Chains A and B, each alone.
Chain A
Amino acid sequence: MRLYPLLFLLLLVAGALAVLVGSGDLADPELRDTFLELRGYRLTAAFMAGAALAVGGVVVQGLFRNPLASPSVLGTTAGASFGGQVALLTYGLTGTGGSFVVPEMIVPVGCFLGALAALAVLLFFLRITQDLLALLLTGFVLSALFLSLSAFVTSIAQETWELGRAVVSFSLGSVSGTGPRQLSFALPLIAAALLACWAWGRSLDLLLSGEEEAQSLGANVGAVRWWSAIWVSVLVAGAVSVGGNVGFVGLVVPHMMRPFAGTKHQALIPAAALAGGIFLVACDIIARIIPSRSEIPLGVVTGLIGAPLFLLLLVRLRRERALA
């Protein structure tokens, strides 16, 4: 079967299940519309976040010429997550996020500010040194820094039981509380960044041969790295703002799609976007149907499915290398 008809079919099935499955009785005429509306938002959020993370993974894997890279290596994921937690904490402790932001927008805005802060540091170092290893290490250090800051926020939040629960639940990832405002905030940003990544696709193809060859073939390597870092950060910030911190999508989905869509970025990016969206919608359905006292966090489901899937891919990747 051709790739795109199959992906659209899967999307249709996943979308239908996402609307129909879950706690809450659709037979109740009074509550039916509300349930459908909430599940629609939830489906949209999961799809957007999945698409954003998968494409972020494609770009970062090309940028670093490393199939084991995921969008979080830039450190902007940890930045966005930290920003979201600080926003939650501020709101929880003061009951206000400042008069200029409506309450439900506090977390998304916080995520973007956090990602921007991490990105600013990253670009500052990218300006000083063009070295790829330096970029990787800066991202690594930023991740470590923001993760410890997040741990600090979590420990402060523990003082109030409800707040602590909200902060922890956010850091584990969930699309359950996403509403129309959050979606309409993140959608244009994610859409713009997806298009931009696709437009940089040909330059990213050149980078697959390494910096020197890419340069000799006419790529402006510095500009490709600079703009890729920016667009991946926007994707990640958008994903975290509607879905919290969800791992493994950006790592696994590009690998799942390469054998079908090919390695060239302009072919891979649309396929990865669709597949990433479907993957996260499916994970969200699983999070809802696994019996548990409360819903299983989305980040836990992607990890539980993503990790074994990734190990399988790793085995296959090694086998292909051995053939080459």
Chain B
Amino acid sequence: MRNDSSMTALRAQGLSVTLGGRRVLQDVTLEAQPGEVLALLGPNGAGKSTLLKVLAGLLPYEGRVEIADTDLASLAPRTRAKRISYVPQRSLLRSALSVEEVVALGRYVHGGRFGGTSSNDQDAIDRALETTHAEALRDRIFTQLSVGEQQRVLLARALASDAPILLLDEPTAALDVGEGLAVLRLIRQLTARKHTLIVVLHDLADARSTTDRALLLKEGVVVEQGKTADVVSAGPVRAVYGVKLIENARIGFEPDVETSGAE
């Protein structure tokens, strides 16, 4: 575990959130380091997605969030978006934009108001499409894609911004097993590039296979925090979900090297 504070990409202290008069998060403290995946876990309604939105600067909060030692609240929307990308579960986009146009939206923070797409922008867009294996979708209309394809394009849009911190809200929720594995594998690859990833996950097995550290929430309060293997273990899981955890009991899946190609 790294304790060097200069390495800390994102730190939250004493975060509390009240929405519509209801306390949704209570005194949450967390840290995320470059090159690691932090999982936000918990039952429905525990406040995982709310926490993610707060860290993305999309909701008002009490407490303090620091991005590389800078106060999140002090950042202008553009500066913030250059440092943090947020990938929603589903996009609300309903207009007929092409995949390339959608990914280009991630470059907004780098462009001038009047400028079109610079060669830097185009490079970043191409790289993001390549990383997410979405090049073939480039000219398709975003709204006509499958949910899994849309998820990859949203990830590409986030990557195109070149932000070092990526926040993903249940990226595998609506995907089939193959698409889900592909996205999880992509998440692992991004850590090699020193991205900081914070991912809301529903599936505890996915969390165990993909993330380094985890934070377990129940009713807005952190119940357990630490290495994923320790958090997703019998005690905390029983306390939060009221179920027994049985090691190695479920069937598992892994990518087929022959059909998906080795990286």
Contact = CB atoms under 8 A, between A and B. Distances in A.
Interface of A: 65, 199-200, 202-203, 205-206, 208-210, 212-213, 215-220, 258, 262-264, 266, 320, 323-324
Contacts of B76: 220
Given A258-B96, A323-B144, A324-B143, A220 B113 contact: no
Given A199-B114, A264-B97, A216 B85 contact: yes
Interface string B81-122: 110111010011111110001000110110101101000000
Given A202-B111, A324-B141, A218 B58 contact: no
Contact of B77 (A202, A208, A219, A262): A219
A203 B112 CA distance: 11
A213 B93 contact: yes
Given A65-B94, A263-B97, A217 B144 contact: no
Given A218-B77, A263-B95, A205 B58 contact: no
Contacts of B157: 217
Nearest to A62: B95
Contacts of B111: 202
B161 interface: yes
B91 A215 contact: no
A205 B144 contact: no
Interface string B220-257: 00000000000000000000000000000000000000
B154 to A, nearest CB: 9
B80 interface: yes
Given A212-B58, A216-B85, A219-B77, A202 B113 contact: yes
Given A202-B108, A215-B77, A217-B108, A210 B92 contact: yes
A219 B85 CA distance: 13
A217 B92 CA distance: 13
Contacts of B57: 215-216
B92 A213 contact: yes
Contacts of B94: 65, 208
A200 B113 CA distance: 7
Contact of B97 (A208, A218, A220): A208
7 contacts: A199-B114, A205-B105, A206-B105, A208-B93, A215-B58, A218-B108, A219-B108
B81 A217 contact: yes
B113 A213 contact: no
B144 A324 contact: yes
Contacts of A324: 141, 143-144
Interface residues of B, number: 35
B143 A217 contact: no
A220 B77 contact: yes
B96 A263 contact: yes
Interface centre among A216, A217, A262 (most CB of B within 10 A): A216
A208 B93 CA distance: 6
Interface string B154-188: 00010001000000000000000000000000000
A266 to B, nearest CB: 8
Interface string B122-136: 000000000000000
Interface centre among A199, A206, A215, A266 (most CB of B within 10 A): A215
A142 to B, nearest CB: 27
B144 A218 contact: no
B198 interface: no
B168 to A, nearest CB: 12
Contacts of B81: 216-218
B106 A217 contact: yes
Contact of A218 (B80, B116, B143): B80
Nearest to B97: A263
A295 to B, nearest CB: 39
A213 B53 CA distance: 10
A213 B57 CA distance: 11
A253 to B, nearest CB: 17
Contacts of B38: none
Nearest to B92: A210
Contacts of B105: 205-206, 209, 217
A193 to B, nearest CB: 16
Nearest to B101: A264
B56 interface: yes
Contact of B53 (A202, A205, A209, A212): A212
A310 to B, nearest CB: 18
Contacts of A266: 116
A235 B109 CA distance: 28
